[in-house]
Amino acid sequence: MDAMPQVDRADVELRLPADSAYVSVLRTTTAGLAARLDFPIDDIEDLRIAVGEACALVLPEAQPGSDLTCAFFLGSSQLTVRVTVVSAGDVAPDLDSFAWQVLSTLATAADVSSHEGRFSVTITMQPEDVGAGL
């Protein structure tokens, strides 16, 4: 697991039902925020895919009827996204899963956390050529 930046308060936060039907909302929001930061189109698509894979990791652990929370932290040249669900207890993430392999390959940094009944995946994208335009 890679070191993640320390963040306190999200710049944008969405709370949705913990159901895969709502993942497209998070992917679209992610793309919009990354575009606002002038990410290149390829990095925007990589980040959309990584957010989908992060959701694929956390949603199976969500308690029925609970929420999926997505926090976005905007930096001058990076975007950090944390997806979190309420789980039955501490979760041992499968770091050999296809979803983890995809998101950890696409993102600049990726981390998982399971503590006190909350399971989170955090990803950061920091493209090398931010500001280069489309």
More confident residue, 131 or 120: 120
Percent of the chain with pLDDT over 90: 72
pLDDT attached to residue 94: 84
pLDDT the model gives residue 76: 84
Domain boundaries, the chain: 12-125
Which class is 12-125 in CATH?
A: alpha beta
DSSP string, the chain: --------S-SEEEEEESSGGGHHHHHHHHHHHHHHTT--HHHHHHHHHHHHHHHHHHGGGBPTT-EEEEEEEE-SS-EEEEEEEEBSS-----TTSHHHHHHHHHSSEEEEEEETTEEEEEEEE--TTTTS--
Each residue's pLDDT tens digit, 4-50:
445 568 899 999 999 999 999 999 999 999 999 999 999 999 999 99
pLDDT beyond 80 at 128: no
What local confidence, expressed as pLDDT, does residue 91 receive? 86
